[in-house]
Structure 1
Amino acid sequence: MTGKKLNENLDTFLRHIESIKDTLPMTLLLLGPHQQKAQDKLVQFMNENVEEIEKEDGEKAIAVKYEEAKIFEQLSKNSEISILASKIIPESLFVSLISQFDAYLNRLLRILFEIRPEFINQSDRNLAFSDLIGFDSIEQAREHIIEKEVECVLRKSHSEHFDYLETKLNMPLRKKLPVWSKYIEITERRNLFVHCDGIVSSQYLKVCQQHKSDVHDIQLNQRLDVSLEYFDKAYKSLFELAVKLTHTIWRKLLKNDFKGADRHLNDICYDLMSSGQFYLADIMLEFACEQNKFYNDAYKNVFIVNRALSKYLQDKKDDAQNIINQKDWSASSDDFKLSKFVLNEEFEDCYALMKKIGKDGEVDKENYRTWPLFYKLRKEEGFKVTFKEIFNEEYKVVEIPKRPVQEIIEKEIENNPELQDKVKNKEMSKKQLKEKEELGKEEELRPTMAHKA
């Protein structure tokens, strides 16, 4: 059995939460002008039709003509509704993030029972005789038990979900998992928005403190919100947890499919680097490099190279070189040797090795044009000269279509530069954002790997 279904389940979850992540800044950007318009109309009306008066007790109030009162009431309501949207939309999308994780966990449990039938065969869940006679086969009865088992598990708390998984798998899942405490806080905050309008309860504080979540500045009865920064952290936490959980289970239960696991994990890391999500890329590549077993040395080397490359693309050259130079690459294939030269910016050695590899070697024309590994090297005149010498054609940049959300956001930012601080990734400087845009112009939409195995 392969990890195809584990792969599909994780990919579905990651696509869904990425869609939600894109929706929030796009919605707030589009909502902004409408909020301003509603506010401006109210202010204009008040300036022209509302007077401030002083009551007998000395307090101040406003007065509006009777025939204008209905207009004032509606304009006030319009302004209030538009402002409320800025609160409700982030909270609703935040709740949707956790709902997607719960759906991912639902599917994951069913896949586990398929991979290891004994997990459900050992269930002590009982069937009434009236239920049993209603099934046409043992398989139908088994599916009914699975449904009840999953339903029972998902009714429990999010920490109990992992208690269940650890018991079934007979392995720790939260060891060396710093994101765990953040995950608990996120899921408990979700409960507050669903049941308590975001008002902090004693249960929220108790659970968070039990799991060492950082809630030292949160007080009982305080109303919590969802800022763009908090939403981004929640997205990253759920992304990290789902990838690590899936691949830990994959390697534990499907030891004959390390190749599929390595390939899929590298695809995830590649996509993160390509989209400029370097915080997550660094976490996932560290996780990948720390695995005890790989399909072969080539895949292990790919993770090392890409871990260094992620640092390199962030202009953290010292970190990149420390990672790549920890290994002796002298006995490795030419593509890995070339990677070492690139990351150490030994460009003359790069050009010499490119010529040695030639046009039909381990690195081909499309690799030079699309791999992020060559992102900075492609800007060098020596690269363009060498490329032409090898392939007898000029180097050309590969243009790829932008995602619709990116086009909308960029258009809004272009029209209103003040919005930049509201949507830019906190971990990226303006220089990195510019480089990310340039990088996107030079890459394929979805190559299999940043560096081949």
Structure 2
Amino acid sequence: MLDKQIIDFNENLIGLRDFVELIDPFLTEKIEEHDKHIQPIILSAMLKEVLSNGEDIEEKDKEKFIEFQEKITKELDEKYKEIPEIKFEKNDEDGEKGFAIKIANSNTEVSKHLENVSKNKKHIEQLYTNSLISSLSSVEWFFSQLLHFFYDKHPESAGVQKRTMTLTELKSFGSIEDAEKYLIDVKIDEILRGNFESWINLLKSELSLGLGYLTDIMDELIEVYQRRNLFVHNGGTVNSIYLSKVDESQRKGVSINDKLIVDKDYLDNAICKLQKAFILIGAELWKKLSPEDLKRGEILGDIVYENLLHSRWEICEGLCYFSLKDAQIHPVDKVIAQINYWLCKKETGEYKSIEKDINKADFSDKKEVFQLGLYALRGETEKILELLPIVLETNQTNIERLVEFPILREFRETKEYENFKKESKFFKEENKEVVTPEKVEKE
């Protein structure tokens, strides 16, 4: 059904994250490498500034400051032929008092370090900005795949019967089916040229999707799209379109002609929101077109586990909740979704809201590996220790998975776990074949 499209979309975003995580440390290291040459110069100038205006400094502290300042100055004299002049200028912009630091008459070597810091900061900014644009390109590709899949099965929904073609256009196609595909392509191209809000309206009206899971994040998604548009069409400078389209809650303190940026936290949050929203859109369409397809629960479970390993609780909670409400998924996949949903609630500080459900849950009729998950949620260390040998002996999981299961993180921090590792035969054996809860035989 839609498994390939959803898997490819998820892998595209994972690949983008991996790329950012690979490049970001390299650029940050370059900044730190050059910055360490600049910081002593600034520190020396700051000490001079404090001492020159230090009427309120106690004598014993003043002596320490002088000694420290002389030490830094000596080191700089040995390192540079000429120490750059540092100026501190008062800055009272926006009613906030502060100082701007300016380096004047800088020698060639220090200038080079300053230029490299500035250049690498710019590179990091471009990395985040281009990654945001790339993530939305992946979203557009995935959205077009969903539309093609739906309209190919239901061409009448695309309104192709009402469209007209010239005789010349008809002659260019080999068959009626080719002409129909062309009209569907035209329809989808027109849709993609619209804004995000028009996409959502179409999903509701023509594809009859509910999209209730978008309610809480709709304003954020609109802001992400509008920010992307600013970078693509206006160099990141806020215009009247951005201000009119984005809800005030998402643009506090932002005014016309402000220059927006994309930092690491913003990028990560944007990708999480997009990943969650569009995988759920794909899953809902899949459920609509093929409600009894059991593969849906398995695919979502695999995506959830991968994101649990990176603590992306918001994505996982949304996908698990969808699976719990999907009456057609396999019972094993539903148990996995339930355990992971509870884990997400616990990790995001909402344990009280699900504590009663966890405490009254009875997994005695289920595989031991699932009972293990329940006991981990409850923090019942003794029961975990009782089950671990059984789970490992029966290959319901193995040591490799045991040391990475997110749900066992708290248990792995206990002394009991350390003792188990020392005393258990399983940690002395070679890793067995990887068997995950998702792969447990579905009976």
TM-score, scaled to structure 2: 0.72
Residue of 292, 311, 328 corresponding to 1:294: 328
Deviation at 1:103, TM superposition (A): 1.2
- 1:28 aligns to what? 24
Shift of 1:328: 3.8
Structure 2 residue 401 is the aligned partner of structure 1 residue 370: yes
Residues 238 and 259 of structure 2 are in contact (CA less than 8 Å); yes or no, is this contact kept in structure 1? yes
Aligned to 2:125: 87
> For residue 280 of structure 1, what is the aligned residue in structure 2?
315
**Kept in 1: contact 2:291–2:328 (CA 8 A):** no
In 1, are the aligned partners of 2:239 and 2:257 still within 8 Å (CA)? yes
Q: How does 1:238-317 map to 2 (within 5 A)?
A: 238-257=274-293, 259-289=294-324, 291-310=325-344
**Residue 141 (structure 1) shift:** 1.1
Aligned amino acid, residue 327 of structure 2: K
Q: Bigger CA drift: 307-316 or 178-187?
A: 307-316
**Residues 1:173 and 1:46: Cα distance change in structure 2 (over 3 Å):** farther
* 1:138 alignment partner AA: I
Residue 145 (str. 1) matches residue 183 (str. 2): yes
Residue 262 of structure 1 contacts residue 295 of structure 1 at CA under 8 Å; is this kept in 2? yes
The letter of the residue matching 2:19 is T
Q: Which amino acid aligns with 1:27?
A: I
Deviation of residue 142 (structure 1)? 1.7
**Corresponding letter in the other structure for 2:328:** F
Whether the aligned pair in 1 keeps the contact of 2:213 and 2:277 (CA below 8 Å) is no
Q: CA 1:443 to 1:240, structure 2 compared with 1: closer, same or farther past 3 Å?
A: farther
Aligned-pair CA distance for 1:260:
1.2
Structure 1 residues 331 and 89: alpha-carbon distance in aligned structure 2, compared to 1, 3 A threshold: closer
Aligned-partner Cα distance in 1 for 2:250–2:348: 28
Between 1:148-157 and 1:298-307, the stretch displaced more is 298-307
In 2, distance between residues paired with 1:352 and 1:87?
51
Give aligned pairs, total: 385
Change (3 A) 1:313 1:122: same
Q: After superposition, where does 1:388-399 map in structure 2 within 5 Å?
A: 393-396=425-428
The reply to whether residue 7 of structure 1 matches residue 3 of structure 2 is: yes
* Cα contact 2:173–2:179 (8 A) shared by 1: yes
- C-alpha distance in 2 between matches for 1:37 and 1:358: 47
- Greater shift in the superposed pair: 40-49 or 148-157: 40-49
Shift of 1:192: 0.3
Matches within 5 A, 1:346-357: 346-350=380-384
The alpha-carbon deviation at position 383 of structure 1 amounts to 9.1
Q: Deviations over 1:373-405 (max 9, x none)?
A: 5566677469959996xxxx5335888xxxxxx
What's the secondary structure of 2:215's corresponding residue?
coil
User: Which of the residues 416, 438, 441 maps onto 1:449?
Assistant: 438
Q: Does 1:233 align with 2:269?
A: yes
Closer, same or farther in 2 for the Cα pair 1:443/1:156, shift >3 Å?
Answer: farther
Give matches, 1:10-89, under 5 Å. Answer: 10-35=6-31, 48=82, 80-89=118-127
Of the structure 1 ranges 104-113 and 334-343, higher mean CA displacement relative to structure 2 is found in 334-343
More moved, 173-182 vs 309-318? 309-318
- Distance in 2 between the 1:72 and 1:347 partners? 58
- The amino acid of 1:260's aligned partner reads K
Deviation at 1:20, TM superposition (A): 1.8
Q: Give the Å deviation of 1:198.
A: 0.8
Matched, 1:203 2:238: no
Residue 253 of structure 2 aligns with an amino acid whose one-letter code is D
Q: Deviation of residue 234 (structure 1)?
A: 0.5
Counterparts in 2 of 1:326 and 1:101: CA distance versus 1, 3 Å: farther
In the alignment, the residues of structure 1 paired with residue 32 and residue 381 of structure 2 have an alpha-carbon distance, to the nearest angstrom, of: 53
Q: Displacement of 1:31 after TM fit?
A: 1.7
For residues 119 and 214 of structure 2, what CA distance do their matches in structure 1 show? 45
Equivalent residue number for residue 193 of structure 1? 231
Q: Which amino acid aligns with 1:267?
A: D
For 1:255, the aligned partner's letter is P
Q: 1:6-55, CA deviations, whole angstroms, 9 ceiling, x for partnerless residues? A: 221122122122222232243232123444566788999997397899xx
CA distance in 1, matches of 2:132, 2:261: 10
In the alignment, which residue of structure 2 is the partner of 1:327? 361
Query: Residue 102 of structure 1: CA displacement?
Result: 0.9
Cα distance in 2 for partners of 1:171, 1:79 equals 49
8 Å CA contact 1:38–1:75 kept in 2: the answer is yes
| Aligned residue type for 1:271 | E
Q: What SS does the aligned partner of 1:276 have? A: coil
In 2, the alpha carbon distance for the partners of 1:75 and 1:343 equals: 51
Task: State whether residues 84 and 103 of structure 2, in contact with CA within 8 Å, keep that contact through their aligned partners in structure 1.
Answer: no
The structure with more radius of gyration: 2
Q: TM-score, normalised by structure 1?
A: 0.70
Superposed CA offset, 1:99-143 (max 9, x none): 111111111211112343432365533322211111111222122
Task: Give the letter aligned to residue 99 of structure 1.
Answer: S
**For the residues of structure 2 that align with 1:95 and 1:248, how far apart are their CA atoms?**
25
CA contact (8 A) 2:345 2:354 kept: yes
Offset at residue 345 of structure 1 (A): 4.0
Q: Within 2, Cα distance between the matches of 1:311 and 1:175?
A: 16
Q: Which residue of 2 aligns with 1:414?
A: none
Q: 1:88: Cα distance to partner?
A: 2.1
| Match of residue 101 from structure 1 | 139
Task: Please state if 1:340 is matched with 2:374.
Answer: yes
Residue type of the alignment partner of 1:286: Y
CA distance in 2, matches of 1:38, 1:350: 50
Q: 1:134 to 1:255 in 2, by over 3 A?
A: same
The structure whose RCO (Cα within 8 Å, separation 6+) is larger is: 1
Contact 1:369–1:398 (CA under 8 A) maintained in structure 2: no
Alpha carbons 2:292, 2:328 under 8 Å: kept: no
Question: Alpha-carbon deviation of 1:75?
Answer: 8.0
Q: State the identity %.
A: 20
